[in-house]
């Protein structure tokens, strides 16, 4: 695996590969890798071409400076995992390489409704930071395909909007959320949890399963209350519990037969904020019915 720390060197290498007819699949990460990230690498490998990963903990997308400082950094382990998975290239920039003129203060993207709900509401400025770094990474790598994880559902929609704004022709490939055996969504933030907290964090998954099994027969208020009770029983404090249209993220109080929806939860386990979601297809029938 080749490792590049400067975009100019990365681009020179990728241009030579492109001239030889290789396509580029790109997996952007903030490191602290787990099997969920590796599943994206494997998806890119299956599609052929050159697989490029990046590791960069982006300061502009953190609302809380302490959250940025405490974000897990496990670079040696990450490199080992990427090599083992067959990743071809790792882009490992520092802040100056991606932000040579300093952190942007006024760079804004018109994300519309997507920035007003869910994480856009509870983490103001977060998605602007995501767009700032993803746009720079895309300009450096220039991939044909961009691989993202479904766990960051709203972020996937934001990045899709970003590519539309910037005129990128890259195809977005969204890969399923990988879970532990107990249902907990794999996340780099899980590294910050104690063993007891990890057990309690499964309350998010249990709440999502409840929403999935009861969504057709209850109002949004009842669903949110009962899901909230499940979270409380597991010492989780929610930022939000929402049901939304899977295509637009329009928040829904009732679900009609024509709606394919997604249930989304963000909740704190101690000081660690966790997110998860579950798509509920049109033809879903609750177990036992």
pTM: 0.95
pLDDT for the residue 288:
44
Spelled out in words, what is the top-level CATH class assigned to the domain 2-175?
A: alpha beta
Query: pLDDT of 130-146, one tens digit each?
Result: 999 999 999 999 999 99
> What's the CA gap between 120 and 113, in Å, rounded?
9
Spelled out in words, what is the top-level CATH class assigned to the domain 188-277?
A: alpha beta
pLDDT for the residue 282:
65
Query: pLDDT of 80-114, one tens digit each?
Result: 999 999 999 999 999 999 999 999 978 999 999 99
Query: pLDDT of 229-261, one tens digit each?
Result: 999 999 999 999 999 999 999 999 887 766 689
> Could you tell me where in the chain the CATH 3.40.50.620 domains are found?
2-175
Marked catalytic residue, from 34, 37, 126, 234 = 37
Kindly tell me if the per-residue pLDDT of 287 is higher than 80: no
> Could you tell me where in the chain the CATH 3.30.1300.10 domains are found?
188-277
Is residue 37 flagged as an active site residue? yes
Number of H helices, E strands in the chain: 11, 9
The dihedral through the CA atoms of 62, 64, 66, 71 has a sign that is negative
pLDDT for the residue 260:
87
Stretch 215-220: mean pLDDT: 84
Residue of 66, 9, 60, 63 lying closest to 30 (CA atoms): 60
- 31 to 36, 45, 80, 144: CA distances (angstroms): 12, 19, 12, 22
Query: pLDDT of 44-59, one tens digit each?
Result: 999 999 999 999 999 9
Q: How far apart are the first and last CA of the chain?
A: 51
């Amino acid at each position: 695996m080749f490792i590049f720390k400067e975009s100019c060197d990365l681009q020179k290498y990728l241009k030579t590969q492109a001239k030889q007819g290789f396509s580029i699949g790109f997996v952007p990460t903030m490191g602290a890798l787990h099997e969920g990230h590796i599943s994206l690498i494997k998806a890119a490998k299956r599609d052929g071409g050159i697989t490029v990963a990046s590791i960069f903990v982006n300061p502009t997308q953190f609302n809380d400076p302490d959250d940025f400082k405490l974000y897990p950094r496990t670079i040696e382990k990450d490199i080992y995992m990427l090599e083992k998975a067959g990743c071809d290239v790792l882009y490992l920039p520092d802040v100056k390489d991606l932000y040579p003129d300093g952190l942007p203060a006024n760079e804004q993207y018109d994300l519309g409704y997507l920035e007003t709900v869910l994480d856009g509401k509870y983490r103001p400025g977060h998605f602007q930071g995501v767009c700032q770094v993803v746009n720079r990474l895309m300009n450096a790598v220039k991939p044909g395909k961009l691989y993202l994880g479904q766990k960051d559902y709203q972020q996937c929609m934001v990045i899709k909007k970003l590519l539309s704004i910037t005129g990128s022709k890259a195809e977005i490939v969204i890969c399923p959320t990988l879970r532990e055996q107990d249902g907990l969504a794999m996340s780099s933030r899980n590294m910050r949890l104690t063993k007891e907290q990890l057990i309690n964090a499964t309350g998010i998954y249990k709440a999502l399963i409840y929403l999935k099994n009861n969504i057709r027969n209850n109002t949004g208020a009842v669903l949110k209350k009962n899901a909230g009770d499940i979270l409380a029983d597991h010492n989780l404090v929610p930022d939000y519990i929402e049901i939304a249209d899977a295509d637009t993220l329009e928040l829904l109080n009732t679900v009609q037969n024509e709606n394919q929806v997604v249930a989304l939860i963000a909740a704190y386990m101690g000081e660690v904020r966790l997110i998860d979601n579950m798509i509920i297809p049109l033809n879903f029938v609750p177990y036992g019915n």
